[in-house]
Structure formats: structure tokens, C-alpha cells
Structure 1
Amino acid sequence: MSDQATMINTGAAVLAVVVLIIRFKINPAVSLVIGSAYLGLSAGLGTEKTVETIATGFGDIMAEVGLLIAFGVLTGAMLQETGAIERLVQTLVRVFGVNRMPYALSLTVATALQSIYLDVLLVISAPLARSTAAKMNRKGTARMATALAIGGECGIVLTVPGVGALALAGLLGVPLGKMLLFGLVLVIPTVTIAVAVMCFLFDRGWWNEERDEQPYPGEEQSDSVGVQPVPGTGESESGSAPGTGGVAVVAPAQTAVRTPLPLLLAPLLTALLLIAAGAVLEVAEIHHPMIAFLSTPVIALLIGLVGTSVVGRRSIGIDRIQRSIATGFQESGQILILTGVGGSLAATVAATGLGDILGDYFTASTAAPLLMVWAIAAVLHIAVGSVTISAITAAGILAPVAPALGIDPVLIALAAGAGSLFAVHVTSNTFWLLQSLMGQTTRGTLKTCSVGVSIASVVAILLIMPLSLVL
């Protein structure tokens, strides 16, 4: 088959996935498998080879990141149940003061809290963000809504253990410790700059309380423990199909025993430090069998999971911990399936030889390949409406191309993540969550969420491109 035919068939497969998700409301995981099957057959792989490639790609990525995603989601579910996240936000208010909270909250959400399922994290944080906004000197709702949007979305794809970051690392063969370190180096300035730009715009009059804000419905009831209705029609970052409606999330009850907050968070932070330490020692070419074992991502996150379970049992009892684990398994299921079929697409694209074809068009001597990665993910996100799905799909397309580009795979992973942040809009469940939970109109949410996260996307790729000259 000619190179041109291969590229056309690949484009048709991706377009088919988008149409199936958007027009026919077919689940993204099913759509990705259909797209992979079409690509394999149209590329001449044959029926047996196509099925084998899809299954092998799914299995390979599950072996790479399946346990990592499961451990991360389960740890987050237990932290949610213990009330650790609510207490952390309250502590941030006390330590940093009200007017610095947009920066403190966005950075905390983007880094330390990425094991928490995003919808749940927003529901937990929003009441405290609203109360903080009311105490700020100016434009409180705009600032705090922007902080939640930028921090939450950036963390998903740029910070380990965000599910998007884990999937990108697995698909592109990036060591998780390296993804963690480079992700942190990128996400901190990206979030800080994006929040600063948005606050500057708000201070210069780009926010109208009368047109951009609306009374939060049932304010008194919403701040209490209970179920929060979400009016969205878009897609959850868990990967549910667009048009399936919003999700209802139950906020955690108060802890039975007042366990110190550092103790509740210590197991997760220990796990992340172990992973980072392993990456640093590998670069320094220092080898120690025990440290190498403990810093292995699966073992490190297992330590975090077991530690959180032990601390959680002392804090709220075994029954509530077991219930939170059951919830975590439900949340992780569709994330795992989506990540796996992203691996199927990557394997099918690799089997068609697209990597060698595109490698002839791009060289590592310029920043163009990274811009291509960013643009592909951005276009997919605009079409599909999900940060996670667009990042995974872009990585699946680009995984076989990475060796030919001659660029460090971690930069390709981060560029795909950055592109997937561009233009979060009305097809995203996060958009409607932020509108409802932060008391914004659609016009206001387009500013805080769509524009705010898009600025973060552009800032991130501008920070990534110079790195290609030194790595």
C-alpha cells in the first residue's frame, strides 16, 4: 500500500472515531476499537493480524500502566472518604491567605491531588472555593473558578498519578519517574503563569458579575453532605460518552477520628517521593537493589495504597474504607478500558508503518514535530471534548512515530497532554460542573474554563519546545 493511502486510511479511522462518539453517541472505548479494526483491515493487515494487533496492544498497555491507574484511583477514593481533601483546602486558606488562594489551590490540585477522580475533586473543593471567593477583594468567583479549571485539567495529563499522564507515559514508553519529574517541572510554571494571566485579565475588566455570575442554586443545601446534581451533557473525564448526562457525586462525611492531615496524606506523598527518587538515582547511575525495588512505580503506589488504607481504617473505620474501595473500582474500570483501547490503536498504527512514513516528513532539528503533536491533540480535543480521550488518542497515533522524530518521548507525551487541554468547551462535563458548582453563567464559564485552560495549553507548549533543543 502506498504511503498516501496509509495516511488517508489513518485519518479516516480517526475521523470515524470522532463521528461515532459525537454523532452516534457510541462509547469512546467501543469507538476506538472500531477505528482500530477499520485501520487494520484497510491497511491490508488481514482479519487475523488485525484482531491479534488490537488484543496485543490492549494487553501491552495494561501490563504497563493498568495496576498504576487502579492503585492511584483507589488511593484517591480513600482520601476522599476520609475528608482529607476538604481539610487540605481549609489549611491552604489559613496558610496562604484568601487573596493568594487561586495560586495555592490550582497548584495543589494540579500536583498533590491527582489521584482524586476529577469530578469528585471539584465537588469536594467547590464549596470551599466559593466561600473563599466571597472573602476576596475582587473578582473572587472568576479567580477561584479559573484556579479549579486550570489546576484540575492540567494535572490530569501532565502530573503523575493523573490518569492521562499515566496513559501517555505507558503508550509512549516513558519511565514513570521521568514523567513525574518532567511533569512537575512543566506543570508548576504552566499553572502559575496561566492563573496570573487570567487574574490580570479579570482585574482589567474582563469579568462582569451581572452577566458572568448567577446565584448558586440551593447554596445552603449544597454545602452540606449529600448528592450534587450535575446538569452537564458532555463527557466526563473518566471517558463516558458525550451526551450521557452529568454524574452525581457524594461528598465525604466527616471523619470519625481527627487524624492529623499530614498523616492522612503521608502514604501517597511517600509513594510519589519513592518514584521520583528512583528516577533521580537512575540518572545519577546509582544502583541499589532495595531502593530500585521500592522505587518501582507499581511497588511505590502499592505502598501508598496500603498505607492510606491503614491510616484510613484508624480514622473512619474499616466499613467506610471498604465502601470507598468499591467506589474506586467502579471509577477505575472505564478508565482502564479506555487506556487499553488507546494501546490497541497505537499498536494498529504501528503495524501500518505510519511511523516510518511520517518520520520522513519531520526532523528533530526544529520544533515542528512537537507543534504537530500539540496540534493533533488540540484538534482531537475540540472534536471529542475530552482531555483524557484526546490525549490518549493522540499518543496512540504518535507512539510509532516517536522513534523517527528523534525527540525524547517524554517531550512528546507532554506535548500531547498540552494539546489536549486546548479549548475545553460545552462538550466537556468539567465545563458544566464548574458552571453549576461555582455559580457561573455559560458566558462566565467560557472565560474561566475554556479560555483559562486554553491559555495553559499554549503556555505549556511554549515551555516544552525549548527543551527539545537540549534533550
Structure 2
Amino acid sequence: MDLAILIHLAIAIVGIVALIVGGKINPVISLVVGALYLGIAGGLGPTDSVTAVSEGFGNLMFEVGLIIGFGVMIGAILSANGTMKRVVDGLLRMGGPKASSYILGLSSGIIFPAIYFDVALVIMAPIAKAIAVRSRRNVAPIAGALAIGLEVALLMVIPGAAALAMAASLKIDMGTMLMWGIPSGIILIVSSIFVHTLVTDRTWKPEKDELPEAGYLHDELDPHQAELQARFEAGDTVGTDLRAASDSLDSIDIVAASLVDDAADAGNDAKTLDLPIVVAMLPVIVPIALIIVDTACRLLMGSSPGVVQFLGNPVVALLIGLGIGILETIPLVTRDGVEDIITRGAQTSGSILLFTGVAGSLGQVITEVGIGDMLAKLFEANAGIPILLAWLVAAILRIAQGSGSVAAMTGASILAPVVAATGLPPVLILMAAACGAAFGGNVTDNTFWIFKQMLGLTTRGAFQVYTLAQSILAVIGLAYCSLLALLF
């Protein structure tokens, strides 16, 4: 019976991948179908299977729904008021050309994890191109650093959407995620950029890897895309990034056209926030500080004072950060402009929440059919297995269906029922799934094509700076998590 259920789990996972890749079915629908199949085949029956799917979705939304929503809205505010671009430009001036790839990777991965991947890519790709031109370097190390940093931001550092979803699924509090995610993210970003630079210094061939006039995409762009690029180079950021994550992202043409429309709506005379950079960054600084204070009090004193618990609750902390961002941005774009930014952020978070919730549905079904108990016995024999399994499941899903978020959340949800039996900190399982989900991003990932076009790369070049860079991150991450597992 145990073997039969494990076979059904394998069939469910393969079926999910087949529906997404072969059938071109939306991942949300595919995951629900797979969860229902597993529930019915595993003996829950039709009614209880539907109940498990609904409960899993609702439980995860209870944990993380508002957090993701507020996080995405903060990201939208920081993008629209130009704070993100100001921070990156300032860091680059401080670090100089030699450190530019590390600065770009760390700023995209650690400072701005609230910015959704595709949105941040559209904003930061022109910055990466400009750095390459100014420093007279090829674009490979800069583009690879951007690919690595954005992936870490999405999967490992809160309030990255996938990181939040996995933390909720594995019952990891936000303070713990901050204390693990930020230092681990820094280590993995720096080491991955270093290795990727060493590799591409030997393999990169501009004549094969970059489009003609590399770094200057106007010859390759249609009129909509050329206008988008011109706006970016002019520093126009208000409203340009908010539609990217809410559209289907089927092609770079769709993304570019929608972003240009948003820029036109915002007006050609858009300005950036005229505040000291530390003040402009308060929407990020304040929530993180509040969460850290609450966590530190619990660690040092066993519990936090009531006021600290309230303010350090991630929902309240992020709401405070969002309120600060709104107040700072109103003078720039008026109340109606801020409302439009928040509305678009809410639309973006809606699709993210659906992906998050159905990962919880699958995890609930896995728990109720008893797979957790079976895997727990296996893990008791070898504590290294859950690290490798979480990594492998996420890596296979990423290669097959493209989405790093779906891959990471599915890998984490499969192991969520047995985390206690592993004897490992749950955050290590999260990190392993996150690293696996970074492996092998390819042509099944529509961001691959956005990355290729916006950075002026051939398909061969995109494989080197998107697929290779993130795969290096994944492999180094597996070694990192395995090493930590030996210490616990």
C-alpha cells in the first residue's frame, strides 16, 4: 500500500509537469488537478480530496496572503517613485566598475526582494547594459549577476513572494527567515557571481553571444520596444514596471508594449522621489527593523512585550512600510497616481497568491494520504536525504515547466509534512528547495526570453548568462545547504 501511494505521488507530479509543459495548462489548474488525483487515488475519496485542497489553500493564505500582497505593493511603490534606481546608481558610484557585478547582484537580491522578478528585470536590465558599456566590459558578468540576484530575491529573501510562500508552508517565522535568508543570500550571490565570472571569461564570445551592437537594442526592437528603451535610458521609471507582472508575459513584445502604455499614462515629465535616500528606503527599512526587534526580544527574553509583538507582526510591519511609501509618493504622483500604483500591485499579487495557495493544497493532500509518515521513516535513516530530495524535486520542476516560484513552492510543500522528522531546521529545507528551483531555467521560462531581448543576447548568450548563472547558484546552494545539514 505504501508503495502504491508513492507511485501515485510520482504520477501526480509527472502529470502536473505534463499538463503545464505538454498541455500548456495554467500551473494553478495543473496543481489542483494533480492534488485532486493524488487525494482520490490515495484513498481520501472525492469529497475529502476537495476538502483537503480547499483547506490547504485557505491555511496557506491565512499565513501569508496579506504579507505577499503588502510586499508586492511596497515593491510597486519603490519602483514607481524611482527609489530602486537611485539606490542602485548610488551603490555603483561607490563601488566602481570592478565591483559593479557584485553590487548589482547584491542590490537586486538583498535590498529589493519585494520587487517581483519580471518587474525588477525590466527596470534593472538597462542599468546592467549601461554598466557594461561604461566599464568597457562584456555584458556576461553583469547580466549573470542580475540573474543570480533576482533569483535569490524571489526564492530566499523576504518579502520575496516565493520565499514568503515557502516559509508559510514550512511554518517558519519571518524573523528566522530574515536571519537566515539575508546572510545566506549574500554568501550565495557573491560566490555564484565569482564562479560565473570565471566561467564566462573563458567561454563568452561576443560575436556569438551578443546581438549586433550588443547593449544597444534599438536595431532589434520594434517601435514599442525602442520607445521603452529610450524611456529607461532617460530615467523615466514612474509607472513603467507595474503591468509587467500582471500580464501573461507570453512575449517580450507584450511586456514592452504594456510598459510603454503605463509610462505614457504616468506622463513624460515623471520625476523621482526628491528625498534623502535613507528616507526613501524607509518602506523597506522600517518593516525589517520591526520584525528583527520582535525576533530578538523572543530569543533573548523568551517573549516580546505586547506592543513589540503587534508592531513586529509581519502583516502590521509591512502595512506600516506600505503606509510610509504611500505618504512619500503622494507628492510625486498625486493621490490618484498612488491609487493606480496600489491597484496594479494588487492585481500582480493576485496571480502570485493563486500559485502560492495551490502549493498549500498539494501539501495538505500529501499530509492526509499519509505520504508524510512514509517519508519520515526514510529520513530517519539519513538526514541528508531531505536536502537532496527537496533540491531534486524543485530542480526537475524548474527544468520542465519554467517557473522558479512554482518549482520551489511545490518542492517545499512535498516535504512540509515531514520536516519535524528530519531533525533539521525547516529553513534548511526551504533553502534547498529554493536552490533547486534556480537550476536549469531555459526556454520553457518566459523570463528567459525577456532576459535575452532586453540585454541584447543571442539564444546562446542567454543560456550562458541566465541558465548557467542560475544553475551555478543552484549547485553552490546545494553544497551550502548540505554542509549546514552536517552541522545540525
For residues 252 and 124 of structure 2, what CA distance do their matches in structure 1 show? Answer: 24
Find the counterpart in structure 2 of residue 265 from structure 1. Answer: 281
Find the counterpart in structure 1 of residue 203 from structure 2. Answer: 206
Contact 1:364 1:405 in 2 (8 A): no
How far off is 1:58 after superposition? 0.6
For residues 238 and 465 of structure 1, what CA distance do their matches in structure 2 show? Answer: 36
Q: Secondary structure at the match of 1:363?
A: helix
Find the counterpart in structure 2 of residue 231 from structure 1. Answer: none
Matched, 1:113 2:119: no
Counterpart residue type for residue 67 of structure 1: L
Match of 2:297 among 265, 273, 281: 281
Matched, 1:410 2:427: yes
Counterpart residue type for residue 161 of structure 2: V
How far off is 1:277 after superposition? 2.5
Find the counterpart in structure 2 of residue 233 from structure 1. Answer: none
Contact 1:25 1:241 in 2 (8 A): no
How far off is 1:242 after superposition? 7.4
Contact 2:65 2:353 in 1 (8 A): yes
For residues 88 and 27 of structure 1, what CA distance do their matches in structure 2 show? Answer: 36
After superposition, the C-alpha distances for 1:232-265 in whole angstroms (9 at most, x for unaligned) are xxxx988969799853452766326623332221
Match of 1:329 among 338, 346, 350: 346
Find the counterpart in structure 2 of residue 386 from structure 1. Answer: 403
Q: TM-score, normalised by structure 1?
A: 0.93
For residues 244 and 149 of structure 1, what CA distance do their matches in structure 2 show? Answer: 17
Contact 2:113 2:157 in 1 (8 A): yes
Find the counterpart in structure 2 of residue 225 from structure 1. Answer: 231
Matched, 1:165 2:163: yes
For residues 430 and 416 of structure 1, what CA distance do their matches in structure 2 show? Answer: 20
Contact 1:109 1:152 in 2 (8 A): yes
Q: Secondary structure at the match of 1:439?
A: coil
Contact 2:443 2:449 in 1 (8 A): yes
Distance 1:364 1:278, change over 3 A: farther
Find the counterpart in structure 1 of residue 271 from structure 2. Answer: 255
Which stretch of the first structure deviates more once superposed, 216-225 or 341-350? 216-225
What is the total number of aligned residue pairs between the two structures? 461
**Aligned ranges for residues 56-67 of structure 1 at < 5 Å?**
56-67=55-66
Matched, 1:352 2:397: no
How far off is 1:444 after superposition? 0.8
How far off is 1:318 after superposition? 1.5
Find the counterpart in structure 2 of residue 31 from structure 1. Answer: 30
For residues 192 and 380 of structure 1, what CA distance do their matches in structure 2 show? Answer: 26
Distance 1:256 1:432, change over 3 A: closer
Match of 1:302 among 316, 319, 322: 319
Task: Quote the RMSD (CA, aligned, Å).
Answer: 2.2
For residues 15 and 237 of structure 1, what CA distance do their matches in structure 2 show? Answer: 27
Contact 1:99 1:137 in 2 (8 A): no
**Aligned ranges for residues 392-431 of structure 1 at < 5 Å?**
392-431=409-448
Match of 1:315 among 329, 332, 337: 332
After superposition, the C-alpha distances for 1:301-353 in whole angstroms (9 at most, x for unaligned) are 11111111111113332122111111101111111111111111110010011
For residues 381 and 430 of structure 2, what CA distance do their matches in structure 1 show? Answer: 15
How far off is 1:361 after superposition? 1.6
Counterpart residue type for residue 209 of structure 1: P
Which stretch of the first structure deviates more once superposed, 65-74 or 175-184? 175-184
Q: TM-score, normalised by structure 2?
A: 0.90
Identity %: 36
For residues 464 and 444 of structure 1, what CA distance do their matches in structure 2 show? Answer: 29
Contact 1:239 1:335 in 2 (8 A): no
Contact 1:186 1:464 in 2 (8 A): no
After superposition, the C-alpha distances for 1:215-247 in whole angstroms (9 at most, x for unaligned) are 34327644333899xxxxxxx988969799853
For residues 388 and 245 of structure 1, what CA distance do their matches in structure 2 show? Answer: 23
Q: Secondary structure at the match of 2:444?
A: coil
How far off is 1:383 after superposition? 1.1
Counterpart residue type for residue 49 of structure 1: D
Contact 1:74 1:328 in 2 (8 A): yes
Contact 1:363 1:405 in 2 (8 A): yes
How far off is 1:21 after superposition? 0.8
Which stretch of the first structure deviates more once superposed, 273-282 or 370-379? 273-282
Contact 2:209 2:457 in 1 (8 A): yes
Counterpart residue type for residue 271 of structure 2: T
After superposition, the C-alpha distances for 1:93-132 in whole angstroms (9 at most, x for unaligned) are 2111122110011011011111112111111111121111
Distance 1:37 1:366, change over 3 A: closer
Counterpart residue type for residue 283 of structure 1: L
Q: Secondary structure at the match of 1:284?
A: helix
Contact 1:32 1:345 in 2 (8 A): yes
Contact 2:251 2:446 in 1 (8 A): no
Distance 1:244 1:119, change over 3 A: closer
How far off is 1:278 after superposition? 2.1
Name structure 2 gaps, 5 residues minimum. Answer: 220-225, 238-243
Find the counterpart in structure 1 of residue 222 from structure 2. Answer: none
Counterpart residue type for residue 452 of structure 1: A
